Structure 1
């Protein structure tokens, strides 16, 4: 016997010859682990002796033999790291980083026009991170607010309870650029409106409203009824 420790089971069941018994008992005197194992095996064997033997049904033998001829044994399980996984893992990490950076860009530019196509042009200007507004009280004629975003280069006017223009006249909007009044569109008829002014409002210093003949004018023909000075914007 190359390893005498392997005799614990046979010794516990009294399945060794006289020579093996003598050698193993000599070993037991020096090996506590084997003594404990033999005691445990003898206890288990004693429990088995208390069970009642039952004769198996005749059909059991035929069923087992038939299964042996029909059941195919499973191949051994070999744990391998797929080459594809190792090859594609760096690419997946890179893709995750790109996705995170993309989300970050969206968070830092929530009002960029390309981020939400459901917003109107006026809503994009008013919601811009650099939007600044100037309000003017027109007395009995209502009030109006101009909001500008320099990053978008646009301005929006919003009126509340503003009286309509006199018959045969229109309200015309102007951008004041380098001291000159540049046409920026005609306000639609009605009390309340919100519209984006025409032209580039990036360098404008103010927005004006004048009363003009129908169809508008190339230059103001009257003094502004309201002037929105961007130096007072908040």
Structure 2
């Protein structure tokens, strides 16, 4: 791989589109190339921002409810009427206006809560992306991977000095009906849960802390929601 070629691998690196050899070479390159390290961080931030679209927004029914309330409230035309009727019309108009204002206030509050959650999620995603980049670019980072018996690959990039590991799972197919993939950190005969994937999810990247003493990492197929211990292991990476 030429020096010019390695600079063009940033996008494929972020999208996990490199072979193990290419990824290891590019990771070593990141340690000495600030330009590529910045580009990788920016691409990861962009990928995190693209996930914002998955957030839910206030239900459309809220808007319909506001207008339905307005339509049900009688709005009388300004025609001459007996003096005794004017206070009733006035009260009805005030009631309608109050209903609209209350509904609008509720909608505004809902939007504000959603916006705060989006901001918090964005900050968390950016912070984790930065930590993942630091582990991948660490001078002592070591990459190890294993093929899954069910099809796919489990990859671990470990930094002993940072006491952290970036664990990536890429499965060829979903785990099955009412089944899911579960990641594990291994310490001797003890397996600690390192993340349960949602049903039908086949790819994930997890940043795991406190891994300096770990013997390895594994993935298993478990009932939806995960298990306290592995029941159907399908792959393991040894780091000790």
Q: Which has the higher helix share?
A: 2
The two structures share one fold, judged by TM-score above 0.5: no
TM-score normalized by the length of structure 1: 0.43
Tell me which of the two structures has the higher relative contact order, counting C-alpha pairs closer than 8 angstroms and 6 or more residues apart. 2
TM-score normalized by the length of structure 2: 0.42
